[in-house]
Chain A
């Protein structure tokens, strides 16, 4: 007999049912964190155990899976999770954003716009946006129940008082469908506008903290701000030095020990696709960097 070593997609069926019920409630209450009985996974906390459990529960044999870590398909976390599902579910994997039906992500939203047939699964370290302001779960839960989000605005105001602008650059808090304040996971605030009115379903899984939450498609998601200090996405003022993109989120890469650096797209699939289409590095300004002394 060729009995499978694992159940399809690793998790047992009872666990999947429990997670699936949590996902349905999460979709019905956009932005609300549904507690779930997170399982131990064969990887440490912080490596995407929440995202992996969500992916394992939604994945079917027809799905095509893409996994990114900080936008990249080829870093350790992304490669291991892809291998994990190749082994336990036998699903096809891809690095192409367009081809994928399920995309698990750590800390980025792909540059290529998502479609209605896709699901984006986020790995979340700390799902509670109020946690660093109020450590007690009983209190944060009450604050969400009462929509008592003044404290978050105080935090953003203190940013302005201290730095002159809102200095939060990632995990920037958002309000979902005018009700729940939500942590979008540590995506750069550059990605925040993509959360809103997205055609794809967005699911968030926090394994250590045992929470699942969701943003249904075409849901209004607003980054918190003030009238006189409106939300502003941040991007390095540069072009990608591989594909010349002037609209993508850039990583700064140190290239030697004398301070040389280059900016490249954080989304590797976006960058590769552009280069395949013939886009190339912009013509370098004469001795642009380093030119300090």
Chain B
């Protein structure tokens, strides 16, 4: 049994504020305090689920998370979110193994009229270092450099294609340990040389 947080309102507010700041300043690192959850669900991802998911938000799990029944149980018990098998139906998609993550096109990009009806994809990475890329756009005064691994080899191309869809598109959250950053669809990516 996992103990229930004595102050759920404050904990979810703190998690949300970290995510709001992360969305507002893409690429900037924020601290998202984790909660105890069964592996391979990272504690910070679990905190995001607790803070934002509920019966209104279908959640999709990648193969590695879906392979651990305790994860699905934890999500159902703590958020009451329905679990879906088609990533295109998901409000939140959780990815524990970035190498095998589906193409961005398989998630919901929203429609031209309702671009907000799109998937937020949460990717658990191991660390924020490695090959870096630079992002520009709303939220950053100047270009900001970001690196994370592991990520799919064509991650930057996928981000490019995602921006092409704007205002449709998916929004990404990257989590490593208690550090979190976001890549909303509004960013423009430039590869670093």
Contact = CB atoms under 8 A, between A and B. Distances in A.
Nearest to A197: B141
Given A216-B139, A218-B140, A8 B10 contact: yes
Contacts of B17: 58, 60
Interface residues of A, number: 43
B155 interface: no
B138 A24 contact: no
B58 interface: no
Contact of A32 (B20, B116, B139, B141): B116
Contacts of A21: 52, 57, 91
A22 interface: yes
Given A20-B51, A217-B25, A218-B139, A32 B16 contact: no
Interface string B65-107: 0000000000000000000000000010000000000000000
Interface in A2-53: 7-8, 13-14, 16-18, 20-30, 32, 34-35
B12 A17 contact: yes
Contacts, number: 111
A120 to B, nearest CB: 12
Contact of A24 (B8, B9, B23): B23
Interface residues of B, number: 40
Interface of B: 8-10, 12-14, 16-17, 19-21, 23-25, 51-54, 56-57, 91, 111-116, 118, 120, 137-141, 166-167, 171, 184-186
Contact of A61 (B10, B16, B112): B10
Contacts of A60: 10, 13-14, 17
B163 to A, nearest CB: 12
Interface of A: 7-8, 13-14, 16-18, 20-30, 32, 34-35, 57-61, 116, 141-142, 144-146, 177, 179-180, 197, 199, 201, 215-219
A35 B10 CA distance: 25
A28 B9 contact: no
A26 B23 CA distance: 10
Contacts of A7: 9
B185 A201 contact: no
B186 A145 contact: no
Sorted nearest first, the 7 A-B pairs with minimum C-beta distance are A28-B184, A145-B112, A25-B116, A219-B138, A216-B138, A216-B139, A27-B23
